[in-house]
């Protein structure tokens, strides 16, 4: 199944809601790489953090997702959904018991446990991924943040290294490809952080002919290391990867919509930071309030195109 096309057909256009924040722009010299958050920054997220989804919509999505599985006609979708929600919490708790302060799960492992409880016949990894995708793409409300695709392409053509640090799952790359028009390849040649029962290639996308703007070494999604933002470990990994590529931490600009999860940990590893305040749904300013968040970030953007005004030198 072409999931990039599926996403485009299933989702309805969204517009950002003005936050009322004034941009604070200044030239940041010496930037060689730009790293982005996804939900709420590159993509409009209808629920802000993708957590506020109506029960009716979730039940309908679950029913559709499992409809092709043998024996699904005798299973109540609302019961599957309830157990799915509980399993997510159980998997998170396991990670906490392992000492992870900000646990992330591998959602395919949740689906595997779910299937084992409701279906007697074994289900292949390919089928599992397809069911998980259908469910997630039907409950998720996303759209391109205005200008995101053009900004990414222009930065890439301008010589900047581009990457992503985001709380996200294996199904997220299809969303990025669908709305921004550039594939997000998570393949790791050395077995890397996503090694395991699903192999080194975490997303079985339909092959795309379009070349990618993203640098694999500078991209990390939370499910790959089972730990989520605001854990500084995600940022440390990208900092270390950048150093191997000959870049210093202060030569990296990180842009995200959440002060605590994006700006604060990025600053801890020495990145320059941009708080994206272009959508009231997703803007998160933290416990110290809006004035403090706006002051502490290096720049405040209300449109992604404002990055052009911030970058005073071409990438290398």
Is the Cβ–Cβ distance between 145 and 44 less than 8 Å?
Answer: yes
- Whether the pLDDT of residue 279 is over 70: the answer is yes
Q: For residue 64, what is the enclosing H or E element?
A: helix 55-66
Please list, in sequence order, all residues whose beta carbon lies within 8 angstroms of the beta carbon of residue 48, skipping any fewer than 6 positions away. 40, 281, 282
CA distance 263 to 277: 12
Q: What is the pLDDT of residues 133-165, one digit of tens each?
A: 999 999 999 999 999 999 999 999 999 999 999
State whether the Cα torsion 185-187-189-194 is positive or negative: positive
Q: What is the DSSP letter of 75?
A: S
Mean pLDDT of the chain: 90
Which pTM was predicted?
A: 0.91
Please compute the mean of the pLDDT values over residues 175-180 and round it to a whole number.
Answer: 97
Nearest Cα residue to 160 out of 8, 29, 31: 31
- Largest Cα–Cα distance in the chain? 62
Please compute the mean of the pLDDT values over residues 52-74 and round it to a whole number.
Answer: 90
Q: What is the pLDDT of residues 180-202, one digit of tens each?
A: 999 998 864 333 444 334 433 44
- Whether the pLDDT of residue 48 is over 60: the answer is no
Is the Cβ–Cβ distance between 7 and 174 less than 8 Å?
Answer: yes
- Whether the pLDDT of residue 297 is over 70: the answer is yes
Q: With cut-offs at 50, 70 and 90, classify the pLDDT of residue 203.
A: very low
Q: What's residue 280's pLDDT?
A: 97
Peptide bond into 273 cis (omega under 30): no
- CB-based burial of residue 97 (10 Å sphere; 0-12 exposed, 13-18 middle, 19+ buried)? exposed
Q: With cut-offs at 50, 70 and 90, classify the pLDDT of residue 53.
A: low
């Amino acid at each position: 199944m072409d999931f990039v096309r599926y996403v485009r057909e299933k989702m309805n256009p969204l517009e950002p809601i003005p936050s009322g924040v004034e941009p604070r722009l200044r030239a940041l010299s010496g930037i060689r790489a730009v790293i982005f958050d996804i939900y709420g920054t590159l993509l409009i997220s209808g629920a802000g953090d993708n957590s506020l989804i109506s029960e009716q919509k979730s039940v309908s999505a679950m029913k559709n997702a499992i409809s092709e599985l043998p024996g699904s006609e005798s299973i109540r979708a609302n019961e599957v959904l309830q157990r799915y929600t509980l399993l997510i919490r159980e998997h998170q708790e396991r990670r906490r018991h392992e000492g992870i302060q900000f646990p992330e799960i591998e959602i395919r492992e949740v689906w595997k446990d779910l299937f084992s409880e409701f279906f007697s016949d074994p289900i292949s990894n390919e089928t599992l991924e397809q069911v998980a995708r259908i469910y997630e793409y039907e409950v998720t409300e996303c759209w391109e943040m205005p200008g995101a695709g053009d900004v990414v392409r222009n930065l890439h053509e301008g010589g900047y290294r581009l990457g992503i640090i985001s709380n996200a799952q294996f199904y997220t790359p299809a969303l990025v490809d669908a709305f921004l028009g550039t594939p997000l390849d998570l393949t790791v040649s050395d077995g890397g952080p996503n090694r395991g029962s699903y192999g080194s290639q975490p997303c079985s996308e339909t092959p795309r002919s379009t070349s990618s703007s993203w640098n694999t070494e500078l991209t990390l999604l939370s499910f790959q290391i089972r730990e989520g933002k605001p854990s500084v470990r995600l940022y440390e990994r990208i900092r270390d990867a950048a150093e191997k590529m000959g870049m210093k931490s202060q030569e990296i600009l990180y842009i995200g919509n959440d002060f605590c999860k994006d700006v604060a940990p990025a600053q801890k590893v020495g990145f320059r930071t941009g708080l994206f305040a272009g959508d009231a749904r997703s803007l998160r300013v933290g416990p110290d309030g809006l004035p403090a968040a706006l002051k502490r970030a290096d720049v405040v953007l209300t449109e992604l195109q404002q990055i052009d005004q911030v970058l005073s030198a071409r990438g290398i």
